């Protein structure tokens, strides 16, 4: 009869401190079940090692963070130096915000863009908007799949002009849907045909529809989160052209409601009892560039009936998809017409302050209109190096006579 090997407490010597320690039966079983060797250190030394490991890991993490901060800091310093070099060379007067004065409010126009809201702690960047869209929503899928851009959220308006029609408007995809909806069957109905086409071009109406709804909902949630009011000169009866959808120029700086033109709509305003539309879109003409990429392959069907159906389907799809352009293009000239009286009243303006506006080309038509009406002295703010570069090319394109720049 063989002896059954029984677990018994083992006495061992700690590798670190040299003291005797007992490995209990329970510990032996536990280590064995986990497939580990028996411990070589006493309980205290094991704890000590664990703690040392934790501290070492924390140190590594801290070091990584420091490195990243340093990198960011260096990048920032580099940008600051570049701004300094550039501004030194410029034959343009520069002023600090606190020295700015608005001596004749009634002759002043203040133009604000999203940078104004950001300066007051409003989380109003497109990146903030992006955070409000679920990770797995069909909307996100449509945006990230069909808009042909690598920087979707850094310039959302421009990105909207990059719908890649060729992904869904091609004969293979259309053929698939026609087949799916049984349109090739002799007893198919017209409704099947239209259902197939609509399904194929779903991104063209899903993107604008969802974007509008979600954007409006998000804009409603924006709040000021900073106590700073850097533009202390803003008081009195100045006119405002606001590119923002929020009313913070009124609530923070007392601009009078009837002096403010919300060129792209405002969340608080109503139009015939309905909330005013919030306008968001890309510059005209981008769609043409996208359509040029659509190559409808010469069709493979020999069967004249199938070929006929395919041709009508492509034609219908292309016609209906054009709605996307209608919905996503910012039609500045129509918008200017709508606000005609505001622009017409600008003839008395002698000073123009531009605060937190990106001066993107999509908005040039508004500025051209202002230049037509006025012969003013411009004060234009910038924040980053890119802003400053855009500012300079803007001033050049608009042929501004007299400008002063300030950093915000
Ligand atoms: Zn020990």
How far does the centroid of ligand 1 lie from the alpha carbon of residue 38, in Å?
A: 14
How far does the centroid of ligand 1 lie from the alpha carbon of residue 59, in Å?
A: 25
> In this predicted structure, what is the pLDDT of residue 295?
66
How far does the centroid of ligand 1 lie from the alpha carbon of residue 14, in Å?
A: 5
Q: How many CB atoms lie within 10 A of CB 198?
A: 16
How far does the centroid of ligand 1 lie from the alpha carbon of residue 353, in Å?
A: 73
How far does the centroid of ligand 1 lie from the alpha carbon of residue 39, in Å?
A: 11
How far does the centroid of ligand 1 lie from the alpha carbon of residue 50, in Å?
A: 13
Give the span between the Cα atoms of 389 and 358, in whole angstroms: 10
Nearest 5°: the CA angle 29, 30, 33 is 85
How far does the centroid of ligand 1 lie from the alpha carbon of residue 45, in Å?
A: 4
How far does the centroid of ligand 1 lie from the alpha carbon of residue 37, in Å?
A: 17
How far does the centroid of ligand 1 lie from the alpha carbon of residue 115, in Å?
A: 61
How far does the centroid of ligand 1 lie from the alpha carbon of residue 275, in Å?
A: 73
- Quote the DSSP letter at residue 135: T
Nearest 5°: the CA angle 210, 165, 297 is 150
> Judging by beta carbons within 10 Å of its beta carbon (0-12, 13-18, 19+), is residue 328 exposed, middle or buried?
buried
Nearest 5°: the CA angle 364, 368, 369 is 120
How far does the centroid of ligand 1 lie from the alpha carbon of residue 57, in Å?
A: 22
How far does the centroid of ligand 1 lie from the alpha carbon of residue 44, in Å?
A: 6
Residue 274, Ramachandran bin (φ over 0: left; ψ between -120 and 50: alpha; else beta): beta
How far does the centroid of ligand 1 lie from the alpha carbon of residue 356, in Å?
A: 64
Give the span between the Cα atoms of 26 and 344, in whole angstroms: 90
How far does the centroid of ligand 1 lie from the alpha carbon of residue 6, in Å?
A: 26
The pTM for the full model equals 0.79
Residue by residue, pLDDT tens for the chain (408 residues) are 445 567 789 999 999 999 999 999 999 999 889 888 899 999 999 999 999 999 999 999 999 999 999 999 999 999 999 999 999 999 999 999 999 888 888 899 999 999 999 999 999 999 999 999 988 898 999 999 999 888 888 889 989 999 999 888 888 889 999 999 999 998 999 999 999 999 999 999 999 999 999 999 999 999 999 999 999 888 778 999 999 999 999 999 999 999 999 999 999 987 777 778 899 999 888 888 888 777 666 667 788 888 889 889 999 998 898 899 989 999 999 999 999 999 999 999 999 999 999 999 889 999 999 999 999 999 999 999 999 999 999 999 999 989 999 998
How far does the centroid of ligand 1 lie from the alpha carbon of residue 26, in Å?
A: 19
> What are the helix and strand counts (H, E) for the chain?
18, 11
How far does the centroid of ligand 1 lie from the alpha carbon of residue 7, in Å?
A: 23
How far does the centroid of ligand 1 lie from the alpha carbon of residue 280, in Å?
A: 68
How far does the centroid of ligand 1 lie from the alpha carbon of residue 13, in Å?
A: 8
What number of residues does the chain have?
408
How far does the centroid of ligand 1 lie from the alpha carbon of residue 60, in Å?
A: 26
């Amino acid at each position: 009869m063989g002896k059954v090997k029984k677990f018994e407490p083992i006495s061992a010597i700690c590798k670190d401190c040299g003291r005797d320690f007992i490995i209990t039966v329970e510990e032996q079983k536990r280590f064995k079940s986990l497939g580990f060797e028996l411990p070589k250190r006493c309980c205290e030394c094991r704890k000590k090692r664990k703690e040392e490991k934790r501290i070492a890991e924390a140190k590594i993490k801290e070091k990584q963070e420091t490195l990243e901060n340093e990198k960011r800091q260096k990048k920032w310093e580099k940008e600051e130096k570049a701004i300094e070099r550039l501004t030194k060379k410029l034959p343009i007067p520069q002023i600090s915000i606190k020295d700015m004065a608005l001596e004749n409010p009634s002759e002043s126009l203040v133009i604000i863009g999203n940078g104004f809201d950001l300066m007051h702690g409003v989380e109003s960047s497109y990146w903030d908007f992006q955070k409000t869209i679920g990770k797995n929503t069909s909307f996100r899928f449509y945006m990230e799949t069909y808009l042909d851009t690598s920087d979707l959220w850094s310039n959302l308006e421009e990105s909207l002009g990059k719908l890649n029609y060729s992904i869904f408007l091609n004969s293979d995809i259309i053929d698939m849907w026609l087949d799916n909806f049984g349109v090739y069957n002799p007893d198919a109905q017209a409704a099947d045909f239209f259902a197939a086409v609509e399904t194929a071009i779903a991104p063209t109406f899903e993107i604008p529809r969802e974007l509008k709804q979600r954007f409006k909902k998000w804009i409603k949630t924006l709040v000021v989160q900073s106590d700073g009011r850097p533009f202390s000169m803003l008081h009195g009866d100045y006119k405002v052209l606001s590119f923002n959808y929020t009313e913070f120029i009124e609530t923070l700086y007392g601009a009078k409601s009837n002096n403010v033109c919300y060129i792209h709509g405002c969340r608080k305003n109503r139009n015939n009892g309905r909330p005013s539309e919030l306008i968001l879109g890309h510059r005209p003409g981008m769609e043409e560039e996208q359509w040029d990429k659509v190559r409808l392959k010469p069709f493979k069907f020999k069967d004249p009936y199938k070929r006929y159906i395919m041709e009508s389907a492509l034609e219908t799809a292309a016609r209906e998809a054009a709605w996307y352009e209608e919905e996503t293009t910012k039609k500045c000239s129509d918008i200017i017409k709508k606000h005609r009286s505001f622009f017409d009243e600008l003839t008395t303006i002698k000073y123009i302050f531009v605060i937190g506006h990106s001066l993107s080309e999509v908005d040039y038509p508004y500025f051209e209109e202002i230049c037509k009406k006025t012969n003013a002295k411009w004060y234009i703010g910038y924040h980053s190096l890119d802003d400053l570069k855009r500012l300079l090319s803007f001033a050049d394109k608009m042929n501004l006579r007299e400008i002063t720049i300030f950093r915000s």
